[in-house]
Amino acid sequence: MKKYTSYIALLFLVLLLAACGSEDEGEQQESSSGEDSGEQETRVVEHEMGEAKISGQPEKVVALEFSFVDNLASLGVSPVGIADDNDEERIIEPIREKIEDYTSVGTRKQPSLEVISSLEPDLIIADMQRHKDIYDQLSDIAPTIILPSLAADYDGIIDSFQTVSTAMGMEDKGEEVLADHKEKMEELRSQVPEDENRSVLPAVVADSGYFAHNMESYTGSLLESIGLKNAIQSGDDRYNKINLEQLVEFDPDVMFHMSSGDQTVVTEWENNDLYQDISAVENGEVHEVDRNMWSRFRGLISSEKILEDAVQYLYERQ
């Protein structure tokens, strides 16, 4: 009987030790899993003004430039706040279809810090040229990344999209979107004849002047990417205010006018023989295009739409 009791006690002790060991192992696994999870949730994102630490996947994002709205829409993300210049009509239709209602945080040049703060964002995306001077104030509100937009060319826009994908914790989704974008770009490029030698000139036309976008501008470099040569191959500024005599000298074969208002400087020039002698004017290749789409948005979605427009004007409407 004593021997039997000893066996029972020994068995109980073995089971107790096994249970404790299993419990310790479970705690270790939970601890290890928690540490790994924490590492995955917090990441350091490099940007134009330094680094930003971002935890998890941001749910409340404020975009202070239209290109960043385009980036987010491409990823299937709706920003809670947009610097829309206090005009929701500036959100182009292909983007409006992809995002939900949002709060305007004012103009891109001077966004309202008070409104941004009231939205309690967990990420702010801002432009290097417009917002570097308020970076510290924005960073006090939420993690902020500063990226090129206004001064970026097409390649710079692609780089910014990739950084936004990383900041959102959506690198895989970003790669898928970018691969699809590149495929569409190749398809559009294939529609431009290899022997295309016409020069093109995109320009914002307003009552204050004629602002030509050279080959290093966003729109200029985008058109160049599919084989459409810009009429201005150099210049001190990507966005050059030029007069009629300079435009005559550049003599573009095709002009894409991003009009701002009904009355522009071109309205006056149209009565001038110098303007009428420009190749694009003589050949009926002056095309009025959407300024919001062609100049303000600067993203993947808008890039595709711009090139679809260009190809249609150049080849499908002839």
Q: pLDDT (tens digit, 9 = 90+) per residue, 80-116?
A: 999 999 999 999 999 999 999 999 999 999 999 999 9
Closest by CA position to 314, among listed 216, 208, 245, 228:
228
User: pTM for the whole thing?
Assistant: 0.84
Question: Is a pLDDT exceeding 60 seen at residue 265?
Answer: yes
Rounded CA-CA distance 91/78 in Å is: 13
Residue 187 has pLDDT above 50, yes or no: yes
Q: Which two tokens stand for residue 13?
A: 């002790």
Q: How close are the terminal C-alpha atoms of the chain, in Å?
A: 107
The 10s digit of each residue's pLDDT in 1-38 is 444 444 444 444 444 445 444 444 444 443 333 334 44
**Fold of the CATH domain 193-316:** Rossmann fold (3.40.50)
Break the chain into its structural domains and give their ranges. Answer: 44-188, 193-316
Domain 44-188 annotated CATH 3.40.50.300: no
Q: Note the pLDDT of residue 316.
A: 82
Fold match, 44-188 / 193-316 = yes
